[in-house]
Chains A and B, each alone.
Chain A
Amino acid sequence: MHVAPILRAIGIKNRETCRTMSEATADPRLVAARAAPKRRMRLSWSDPVFRSVVWQIVIVGVVIAIGWYFVRNTTANLAARHIATGFGFIDRVAGIPIGESLLPYDPAVSTYGRALLIGVLNTLQVAVIGVVLATILGTLIGIGRLSKNWLLSRLAAFYVETLRDIPLLLQLLFWYTMLQGLPPPRQAWHLGNVAFLTNRGMRLPELDWQPAHTWALLAFIVGLAGTLIWNRRAGKRQEATGVRPTVWPVAVALLIALPVIVWAVLGAPFQVELPVLRGFNFQGGGTLSPEYFALMLGLVIYTASYIAEIVRSGIQAIPQGQWEAAGALGLNAGQVLRQVVLPQAMRVIIPPMTSQYLNLTKNSSLAVAIGFQDIVSIANTALNQTGQAIEGIAIIMAVYLTISLSISTFMNWYNAHIALVER
């Protein structure tokens, strides 16, 4: 047991004693005597290492035992019900009718795998658009709550206080029944006979998508990248010389002129398909189903009330002196907000905002209650059709875990990117 100090005392050093010696120039024997003796586990309850090993074995053992008990019961139950385990059902024909999908889908031939993939894409689409819209609305309301105008700030406060306290599911059901109470297509509410709002959703004019549009979009992305690079160069020039080169002509050229030229060169196709009432429903044009519309409305309105509070407290966390100092430098209110306050407030805002984005994504699973076909809804149908309960729930959980981890990884990266660099 007490061999180590003796060994050290007679000159056989381990790594730790070497380090101590290089740090202090004291007598090595004294240092060795002062250093904590290297412990080896004793088979006694008074030894903390022994206790921790025993505790871990006991706790992990209990968890494994419970897990094993569940697994054994489950296999017995599944065998009794003649349900095969495994993900073999993925390749079978699904036969689930899907209203909205971003991929071509035919219930007669498409597999469960494809149906689930469409569900994942629908979830992602709702999450991405929802996050963008909720951030915009929430930021506006959060800033509105700080307005000097009493009426505006009270109204924003009322919005936050009321909508935060109503369960999201109740709000979704409310919006969904409201949308179903809209007039039928024949008496649709319309906007200049171009866009229609009916109890079957929203009908919008749709652009007839041509390859030229794809190229124009690519040109826009290239232009965006170019503008960002130019902007960064301008920043560097400003730091070096004190003179900032003008950015806007380059930005206009790259962001507007370039895509327009690409589009014009490829023949400038522009054909809009308008929705037209035929029989009992509209034909043509793009559709937003009532389910999608209600889900988006509910998610955005509910999450915005939380985001508003985050934005408000983030801005309030910035000391008044920052506003005053920026004002003294001659910046106007908008410039102060954009260039002085928001960059600092972002550091306070990002972490709670991340959890709101995660919440919105997870809350989009409530789509199942109003019949929008996201991953939960499709996996649930698949689960009921095939009886593969465990696999279905495993798929749902795996999808959400992946999305959650991706969002939090990205937001952590962004947070580290904007964090204050101290020394």
Chain B
Amino acid sequence: MSQATATAEHMPAESQARPPAGIVGPWAWLRTNLFGSWWSTAVTLVLGYIIIRVVFSLFEWGVVHAIWSVPYGPTGTPDTAVCQNAIGIGACWAVLTDKYRLILFGRYPYDEQWRPAIVVLLFIGLFTVSGVRRFWRKELALIWAVTLTAVGVLMWGGVFGLPLVAEDSWGGLPITLILATFGLAFAFPLAVLVALGRRSTRLPAVKLLCVLYVEIIRGVPLISVLFMASVMFPLFMPAGVNIDKLLRAQIAFILFAGAYLAEVVRGGLQALPQGQGEAADALGLSYWKKTWLIILPQALRLVIPPLVNTFIGFFKDTSLVLIIGLFDLLTMGKVALSDPPWQSFSTEVYIGLAAVYIAFCFAMSKYSRGLERDLNRSRAR
């Protein structure tokens, strides 16, 4: 240390102020990160060329030559001749500006579409609140219950002077969010019970049931569970009882999510040191008191990051209801594309849909990674 100061004193003032140019500064950064070796230089040049070409042509297609609106004919049908001529040259974002209400909210009555819009905001608010660690207590369940009730009231209506809207005309983003969020909310208690059942030593028959449920559901694709819901559930019900299609899909989602979440919760239960349960036993707590007061509050905290990741998966998986004919976001995109004037602009619509999915998933995965880092930091202390 003192030696370094000594040598520094003999140096000219200018080099004292700045570290040597070879270590820092933009040129040094370029040299280490882009042109570190012959191999690295070659990769940089080739990739750089490709990226610049691709970005440039995408910019030309998506912005420079893009068409944002088209004239409408006397009957209200869009005249897409401009777009047809520009196929391959410029994007036709007019399809999104024309159809975004249909894609986002489906066939919900046009004048009432503020209701699904509020529902979407409610969901985003719910996710945000659940993400704040200060709210991780038992009262969070209450917030979820209240919000989900509010969602139901807003979507159905029929009270507070809101006109009744049947499930048949729901669609778009609210359906995607409802399937994923209600699926999580109802699957979670089920998953906790199944995870506890799977770890129980005293109840071998219950354990067997839980193992069978989890392994069978996890071994088959979601689409087969959805088929089961759409084709087999009606057969299960007594004649005359008809369950709505959306509800059937929702039940399928809950059953499916339950199995995956049960494994996540089981991971948390396993990660908890054995001593916690033993200490609770030593205090004379009953099984349910021990589970409710000691085990679950700690185990569930451990599994929040994988829980968020599983939720991201469900959020994407809701798109599968397209196959059984429910009108979620993706299906509404296809419906919008079935309109004759817009038929050849699927790329634009798919990019728009992808942007919505990416926005939700990216925010959640970013949050989950940050959370994981934070939790690990406190544990590594």
A, B assembled together? yes
A residues with CB within 8 A of B = 48, 52, 55-56, 59-60, 63, 70, 73-74, 76-78, 80, 147-152, 155, 161-162, 164-170, 173-174, 177-178, 362-363, 365-366, 368-369, 376, 380, 383, 389-390, 392-393, 396-397, 400-401, 404-405
CB distance from B198 to the nearest CB of A (A): 13
- Tell me if A174 and B350 are in contact (CB < 8 A): yes
State whether the Cβ of B48 lies closer than 8 Å to any Cβ in chain A: yes
Q: With A149-B43, A401-B216 given, is the CB distance from A162 to B205 under 8 Å?
A: no
Q: Please give 18 more A-B residue pairs, beta carbons under 8 A apart, in addition to A148-B33, A166-B358.
A: A56-B206, A76-B238, A76-B239, A80-B239, A151-B44, A151-B48, A151-B51, A161-B362, A170-B319, A177-B347, A178-B347, A365-B223, A366-B223, A368-B223, A390-B232, A393-B224, A397-B224, A400-B220
CB distance from B143 to the nearest CB of A (A): 26
Q: How far is the CA of A80 from the CA of B202 in the complex (A)?
A: 44
B residues with CB within 8 A of A = 32-34, 36, 40, 43-44, 47-48, 51, 202-206, 209, 216, 218-224, 227-228, 231-232, 234-239, 312, 316-317, 319-320, 322-323, 330, 334, 346-347, 350, 353-354, 357-358, 361-362, 365
- Tell me if B40 and A149 are in contact (CB < 8 A): yes
Q: How far is the CA of A169 from the CA of B324 in the complex (A)?
A: 13
- Tell me if A149 and B34 are in contact (CB < 8 A): yes
- Tell me if A165 and B365 are in contact (CB < 8 A): yes
User: Which of chain B's residues have a CB closer than 8 A to the CB of A169?
Assistant: 319-320, 322-323, 330
- Tell me if B33 and A150 are in contact (CB < 8 A): yes
User: Which of chain A's residues have a CB closer than 8 A to the CB of B221?
Assistant: 362-363, 365, 376, 400
- Tell me if B235 and A78 are in contact (CB < 8 A): yes
- Tell me if A52 and B203 are in contact (CB < 8 A): yes
User: Which of chain B's residues have a CB closer than 8 A to the CB of A368?
Assistant: 223, 323
- In the complex, which of the residues A77, A165, A174, A405 contacts B239, with contact meaning CB atoms closer than 8 Å? A77
Most buried by B among A80, A161, A166: A166
Please list 5 pairs of residues, one from A and one from B, whose beta carbons are closer than 8 Å in the complex, sorted by A's number. Answer: A73-B235, A149-B36, A167-B357, A393-B227, A400-B221
- Tell me if B220 and A362 are in contact (CB < 8 A): yes
CB distance from B96 to the nearest CB of A (A): 15
Q: How far is the CA of A82 from the CA of B173 in the complex (A)?
A: 40
Q: How far is the CA of A368 from the CA of B320 in the complex (A)?
A: 11
- In the complex, which of the residues A80, A155, A166, A362 contacts B354, with contact meaning CB atoms closer than 8 Å? A166
> At the interface, is chain A mostly helix, strand, loop or mixed?
helix
Q: With A164-B361, A165-B365 given, is the CB distance from A376 to B319 under 8 Å?
A: no
User: Which of chain B's residues have a CB closer than 8 A to the CB of A77?
Assistant: 234-235, 239
Q: How far is the CA of A363 from the CA of B353 in the complex (A)?
A: 20
- Tell me if B350 and A162 are in contact (CB < 8 A): no
User: Which of chain B's residues have a CB closer than 8 A to the CB of A166?
Assistant: 316, 354, 357-358
User: Which of chain B's residues have a CB closer than 8 A to the CB of A152?
Assistant: 43-44, 47
- Tell me if A389 and B231 are in contact (CB < 8 A): yes
Q: Nearest chain-A residue to B359 (Cβ)?
A: A165
Q: Nearest chain-A residue to B36 (Cβ)?
A: A148
CB distance from A73 to the nearest CB of B (A): 5
Shortest Cβ-Cβ A-B pairs, 7 listed: A165-B361, A150-B33, A362-B221, A365-B221, A404-B219, A167-B316, A167-B319
CB distance from A191 to the nearest CB of B (A): 20
CB distance from A382 to the nearest CB of B (A): 12
Q: With A151-B44, A169-B319, A404-B219 given, is the CB distance from A376 to B238 under 8 Å?
A: no
User: Which of chain B's residues have a CB closer than 8 A to the CB of A147?
Assistant: 43
CB distance from A36 to the nearest CB of B (A): 15
Q: How far is the CA of A77 from the CA of B242 in the complex (A)?
A: 13
Q: How far is the CA of A152 from the CA of B34 in the complex (A)?
A: 9
- Tell me if A151 and B43 are in contact (CB < 8 A): yes
Q: Nearest chain-A residue to B233 (Cβ)?
A: A70
Q: How far is the CA of A363 from the CA of B223 in the complex (A)?
A: 9
- Tell me if A55 and B203 are in contact (CB < 8 A): yes
User: Which of chain A's residues have a CB closer than 8 A to the CB of B227?
Assistant: 376, 380, 393, 396
Q: How far is the CA of A389 from the CA of B221 in the complex (A)?
A: 17
- Tell me if A365 and B224 are in contact (CB < 8 A): yes
Most buried by A among B204, B334, B361: B361
- Tell me if A74 and B48 are in contact (CB < 8 A): no
Q: Nearest chain-B residue to A57 (Cβ)?
A: B205
